[in-house]
Structure formats: C-alpha cells, structure tokens
A and B are shown apart, each in its own frame.
Chain A
Amino acid sequence: MKYFHLIWAELMRRKTRTALTLLSIVAAFLLFGLLDGVRESFDQAGNSANGAKRLQTGSRLSFIQPLPMSLNDRIAQVQGVKQVSYANWFGGAYQDPHNQIFSFAVASNYLDLYPEIQVDKAQRKAFDETRTGVLVGAQLMQRFGWKVGQKLPLQSTIFPNSDGSKNWNFDIVGTIAAADKKTGGWYDQMVLLHWKYFDDSNPYNRGQVGWYITEVGDVNQADRVAKAIDAISANSDHESKTQTEAASAANWMKQMADIGLIVGSIMGAVFFTLVLLTGNTMAQAVRERTSELAVLKTIGFPDRSVLMLVLAESVLLLLIGGVVGVALARLMGPIVSAGSRGAINIPPISGHSWALALGLMVAIGLVVGALPAIRAMRLNIVDALAGR
C-alpha cells in the first residue's frame, strides 16, 4: 500500500486515456448491475424463508380450473398444517382491458400467511370491515395517482358482476408494501379484494376457489404435507397439485423465459469486449513506460514488486470503474422501473450482486494486467534503458 502514490501517478499519467477506459468499464458494470438485478429478481421470486413455508394447491387439470370450497376444512386437518387460506384470480384491468393489473380475491386470513406484506394496522382493520374494500400496492398507487379513500372502478377481464356487466366498484382502504424490496417486487404491484364480496357478486363462481395457500409449521414437513393434501382429492374430478411457493414461482419464471441464459450471454459478450479493451490500454501503458520501469528496477525494486505495481494498477482501474458503474446502476434502476411503468422491475442491487461484481472486477483486472505485468517483470534493464 505504501506504493499507492506510484500506482496513482501511473494512472494519472495519461488522463484522457485513463478517463476513457474508466468510462468503458463504468458502462460495462452499469449493465451488469441492471441485468443481474433482473436475474436475481427472477431467481428470488417466492424464494424467501416464508416462501418455503407456504404451499400452493391448484388444480392438476389447469391453473384456470377452480377447486371446491369444501377442501378448505379438509386441508386444515392435515397434520403439520398451521393455517390455510385461499384466493382467486380476479383478472382486473383499469380503464382498458389491456391495462391488466395483478388482482386477487383473497380470504379474510390471507394476509396472516404473508408476514412480508406490510399493511398499516388501522388500514388492515378498515379492510377487514369494508366489504368492497381493496388494498393496493404502493407502486400501483403511484403509477395511477390513486389515493386512499377514493372509489376504484375496475373491469374484470374474466368475471361479470351481479348486474352482468364487467364493471366492479371498490373502495381503496389502504396500501400494501413489500417488507423486503428485493424479493417483494410483486407485492407493490397488486390489488387485493375480498373473496367473499367477489363470490357473492359473481354469478359464475358459486363458492369455488382458484388456489389454496397453506402454511406448514415445519419446513422439513412441507413435502409430506403436500403429498397428504393431494391425496385428499386423488381420483376425484378435482385432483389437485401442491408445490411450495418457491417451486411454483420458479416453474412460472422458467416458462416465461430463460432469463439466466439471456443475461449470461449478454454479459459474456460485454465482458469479453471489456477484457480486450482494457487489455489494450494496459499494454499501451506498459509499453510507454518501459524505460521508467527499468529505472525502478535499477534503483532496487525487485521483479515481484514491479509485477505487483502493474497488476495493482489494472485492478485499481477496474475497481474504480466497476464500483462507479454498479453505483450508477443502483441509481438508474428505479428510473428504468418507473420509465417502463412497472413493466420492467429492477430491484435494488443485492449484497450478492455486489459480491459477484467485485469478484469480477478483481478477476478481470488480474486477467487484463497479467501479460503486461509479466512483460514488465521480465524487463531486461540494459535493453529497456537503451530503448531497444
């Protein structure tokens, strides 16, 4: 570390070149920060400690096929089940059928199973007491400029109301927010309404349930409980399929797109280019400084120190650019999310992404610095000073 000023002087020797190289590195890591955030949010969907404790039971036929209400009490009796709740798709849309909103009709105890969804105590009470009440995700509120206390007209793209029209009226009684911004991107984007109101007003539903959510007391029992739940309706006309929330979310995500592959390919192309570019810069820098390095050796710097000096220079270059890039991604993420009106949700960069980014910076720095550093180490003093 005592040679830090030397390394710094090396970097500052050609300010334009260093600045331009830094900006390329910033661009690469900005991209890394944004894309890795997207990848993580896909990977993490439902993958929390709570997600492992919750089982989802849907119809084995198809995810749009409802299950009978009678299952509720039978699931509750399965050994190891702590509590059961249920929900339905509502298929809500605001103003235009194509402006779809994640909206679920949920049982009164639904929120008890989701401790990671934050609701203000008074608002929760208001929700429990208002038949037509809905809780709305904080991001949705912002996106459409809704206020607590106003009426909310939604169209259902699936279910007619009691008067045969698709128009439903609700009262916004509170907001919901995800306690953990990293895994809870969805919670900020949804609308929860009462299953009871939905079932009473909708002539087609007749007490049917889209899916059941079961909380198990002990995570290790989850598999056994899932099998026991499915055994209840085996060979009936409403066979069910139970998975942990994490497994079912992962399954959906996989069907949506192979995000890991796409992000991996893009980043591969980006980093390959980056290695080439910074490698070129470092090679130039060492070529220019051949005689200076020879002077260092003459005044007694051992070979290894010279090697370390050059390596440290390239690692430092990448660390500065990389940290600035990831920090920029941290700032830009919310802007991109807001700009796409919630279509693309970029979560804040997790510690895991930071660690990966730092590891990449050091690794790329070492790779890039290796050849020039070895050249510098092997310099023949006499030749170098003579400029040969």
Chain B
Amino acid sequence: MKKLLSFGRGLLTALALIAGLALWAVAPWPVLVGLAALVALWMLLTRSGQQAASVAGVGISTLRQRLGSSSVVVIGIAGVVAVLVAMLSMAEGYRQTLARTGSADTVLVLRGASAAEVMSTLDLASINVIEQAQGIARGPDGRPLASPETVVAANLPIKGGAPDQDGSVQLRGVGDRAWLVRPQVKIVQGRKFETGKREVVVGSGAQRQFAGLDVGKQIRLGSEQWTVVGVFKSGDAMDSEVWADAEMVAATYRRGASRNAVVAKLTSAKAFKPFKAALAGDPRLQVDVTTTADYFAKQSEGMTTVIRVIGIVVGSIMAIGAVFGALNTMFATVATRAREIATLRAIGFRGLPVVVAVMLETMLLALVGGLIGGVLAWAIFNGYTASTIAGGVGQLTFDFRVTGELLWSGLKWALAIGFVGGLFPALRAATLPVTSALRAL
C-alpha cells in the first residue's frame, strides 16, 4: 500500500510537471515577471514564505563551498542555451533576409506552376499584357512601374575556394524600371551599369562570397567578359545577386525577347486582389501572381523549418543530458546538506519552505547558465554571416539574428531545465526521515 502510494505520488508529480512545461513553453515573458513577483510577495508577506526565504538564503550563501558541482549545472545549461539560440538565430536570420525582400504592394508574375523565378519564362506578348494590367502604379514619367527581368544562375569562382571551384550566383538582367520598383536597392560604390554595355553591378553579399567582384575588375559570365562598375546594397536577398542590363543578359544566355518574370509595384496592397483576378481571367495568359512578400515567405519556409527542427531536436537531447546533470548535482547537494535540512525540520520548519529553497537555488543556477549561454550566443553569432543555396539557384548570404525573442525562449528552456532538475531533489529533501538524516555522517 505504501509503495503504491509513493508510486502514485511520483506519477502525479510527473504528469503535473509535463502539463506545467507545456504551458510554460507557450508563455510570454510577462508570465515570468508575474510569477517572480508572486513568489517575492509570498516570501515577504506570509510566514511560510519568510521561512522559505531564510532557508534559501542559507543555501545560496553556502553555494561557494559547492562551486565545482554547482558550476556543472550552470555550464551544462549554458551549453544547451547557446547551441539552441545559435541554431534558431540561423533560421531567424535566413527568414528575415527573405522576408525583408518582399512587400505586400509589389507583385511577382511568373508563368503558371513555376516554383521559382529561374524556372519561369514569359514571352514578349505576355509581358506587354501584364504591364498594361489594372492596379499597377505609374512612375513619374506616366509609364507603369513594371520591370520585366531575366534571372539566370551563373557560375563564378568562390572566394578562397580551389582554382576552378565555381559557385552559383543569381544573375538578374534588368531595365531602368527595376530601380523604381525596388527603391531599397542603393548603389554604394561606383555607378549603375549603362544600357547596351557588358557591365554589371554586384550586391554586397555576392561580393563577399565570390572572387574578383571589385569595381573595375573584369569577370566572365557566360562566354563574355563583363566589367564590374558598381556595388549595391539592399539589406535583403537582392544583396546576393549580380545585376546587369536585361538585353545583354538575354543575348548572352540566348533568351531572345522572353523574360523570366515581371515585378510590378501596385498602387496599394488593396489593388492585389483585382490585379490577380484580372490576369487570371485573361485568356492570353497562363500566369501565377503572388505578392513578393508571399513569394519570399514561401521560399524560406522549407529551409527555416528544417533548421528549426534540427535546432530543437539537438536542443532537446542536450536539455535531457543537462537535466540529468542538474539532478545529479542537486541530489548530491541535498545529500551533503542532509543534516542541515534535517535540523531545520526538527526545529519546526515545514516541508514547503525546504522544497522552495532547494528549487530556488537550482533555478538561480539555471538562470545564470541561461544568461551566460544567451550572451555567448549573442556575442559569437549575432551578425555572423553564412550562405546557402536558395531556391536551388544561387548563393544567398544572410546574417544570423539573435533577437530578444530567441533569447527569451533560450531563458525559458534554461529555467525549465532548472525546474525539472531541482524538483525531485527538493522533494527528497522535504521527505527525508528526520531521525536517520540527523544520524547521518
């Protein structure tokens, strides 16, 4: 019967713990502040709270004697949080770079069922129809703000790679409208390319990634030599591209008058629905219309999910390891302080303050670990530049982004690990038989 009771109690504790963790996982930061305030009030205003505070004070003041074993909890949790935050910041940086590229009032028109710009083709007739559609904003010259563009993948030598080791870059052939449709793209060095010449401007990300993209240098794209005449910055995915005159790119890659896509600026985000309906209803066209915001969000979806899943799987496995490490340390702590705890209980301290004291100590260690891990991840990885193949076409450079949101979720993980790692040792401390603990050496 006794065995059954204790088993039942253990089971209930475990179930309550799982439910609590699930709630905790979705909690925003004010919850933490609220909980901390509640605990502080309880400690100040009630008798058992004051007892808990004094016991916790004793435990925390003796932490220095247990520095070695306590640092295991701190460093274990710091490791989990650092790895987790670093992985998630990679996903976040990638997502943000692509998300910034699009907006709700610019549209991308591709041939039907194309997964990416590179795979689409639009002939001259279709382009003319699209440009005249309702809802496209007009430029200062009264012409529609629509930019037909050629997008190809070109090979360029990678910086620091072996000779003859090529990487893939997205080369965009554009006309004069492209600069109006994408006002965020600014020339930061040199000048724009001239129409009808084999000149290119390169994005700052592409310049970092590939060799020889400096102003005044010659590069080989296709079977021709081109001159780099400028560098542009846009702060989004365009940064990884190389831009040149649409006619010249089409000639080099034998595209004739066809283009890959039309990017257009609408009069407002509200104009999207009628614009889409108009193109869908036009018998001369077979096109897909998306806002650029949607298009780039979709592009980043798969990759972001994969990185996040990997981060969370890795983090969870590490967290399980850290929980066992914390349990180990806290059980040892409770064992070494068994006499002290038993003495407290013998002179009238109840179980709850003892439990809270042990829990608080673990949570404090976890908090320190979480902060160290978060700061480490932020110091090393915030703004760290990486690149990957995006949309199966060209290298995309992006920066890791350690946001406040991510640091908060890292801290949540840390506190959860501390909670689980402290709970069972705390319960043991409160249920130690007083007499035998007092006799313990």
Chain A residues proximal to chain B, CB less than 8 Å: 16-17, 20-21, 23-24, 27-28, 30-31, 34-35, 60-65, 91, 93, 97-98, 100, 155-158, 164, 166, 204, 237, 239, 241, 251-252, 255-258, 265-266, 269-270, 272-274, 276-277, 280-281, 283-284, 336, 340, 343-344
Contacts and interface: CB of A to CB of B under 8 A. Distances in A.
Contacts of B310: 344
A241 B386 contact: no
B112 interface: yes
A98 B298 CA distance: 8
B433 interface: no
Contact of A65 (B253, B320, B324, B389): B253
B167 A344 contact: no
A239 B222 CA distance: 9
A283 B68 contact: yes
Contact of B314 (A20, A31, A166, A343): A31
Nearest to B71: A276
Contact of B76 (A21, A276, A281): A276
Interface string B140-162: 00000000000011110010000
Interface in B336-377: none
Contact of B79 (A91, A237, A269): A269
Contacts of B322: 24, 273
A35 to B, nearest CB: 7
B50 interface: no
Contacts of A20: 324-325, 327-328, 331
B115 A98 contact: yes
B118 interface: yes
A241 B163 CA distance: 13
Contact of A23 (B79, B221, B306, B324): B324
B79 A284 contact: no
B439 to A, nearest CB: 18
A158 B114 contact: yes
A280 B69 contact: yes
A31 B318 contact: yes
Contact of B155 (A241, A270, A343): A241
A306 to B, nearest CB: 22
A61 B321 contact: no
Contacts of B328: 17, 20-21, 24, 277, 281
Rank and list the top 5 A-B pairs by shortest CB-CB distance, nearest first. Answer: A27-B321, A166-B113, A157-B115, A20-B328, A273-B79
Contact of A251 (B79, B113, B165): B165
11 contacts: A27-B321, A30-B317, A63-B153, A63-B155, A64-B393, A98-B298, A255-B395, A273-B321, A276-B71, A277-B328, A343-B309
B218 interface: no
A277 B72 contact: yes
B221 to A, nearest CB: 8
B119 A157 contact: yes
Contact of B286 (A35, A164, A204): A164
A342 to B, nearest CB: 11
B306 A61 contact: no
A23 B114 contact: no
B321 A17 contact: no
B313 interface: yes
A248 B180 CA distance: 39
Given A98-B302, A257-B388, A340 B309 contact: yes
Given A61-B154, A166-B112, A284-B332, A277 B325 contact: yes
B114 A273 contact: no
A60 B82 CA distance: 42
A156 B114 CA distance: 8
Contacts of A62: 152-155, 168, 222, 253
B306 A27 contact: no
Given A27-B321, A60-B155, A257-B388, A269 B82 contact: yes
Given A157-B115, A276-B71, A343-B305, 12 more contacts: A24-B321, A60-B155, A97-B113, A255-B387, A255-B388, A256-B388, A266-B314, A273-B75, A273-B76, A276-B76, A280-B69, A283-B68
B325 A269 contact: no
B68 to A, nearest CB: 6
Contacts of B324: 20-21, 23-24, 27
A273 B372 CA distance: 14
Contact of A252 (B118, B254, B389): B389
A280 B72 contact: yes
A156 B120 CA distance: 11
Given A62-B253, A251-B166, A255-B388, A155 B155 contact: no
Contacts of A157: 113-116, 119
Contacts of A91: 115, 119
Given A23-B321, A269-B82, A269-B83, A280 B329 contact: yes
Given A17-B332, A266-B314, A64 B69 contact: no
Contact of A270 (B79, B152, B309): B79
Given A27-B324, A62-B253, A344-B309, A280 B68 contact: yes
B223 interface: yes
Contacts of B118: 64
B330 to A, nearest CB: 10
Contact of A272 (B71, B79, B332): B79
A283 B253 CA distance: 68
Contacts of A28: 321
A237 to B, nearest CB: 6
A237 B393 CA distance: 22
A64 B153 contact: yes
Contacts of B389: 252, 255-256
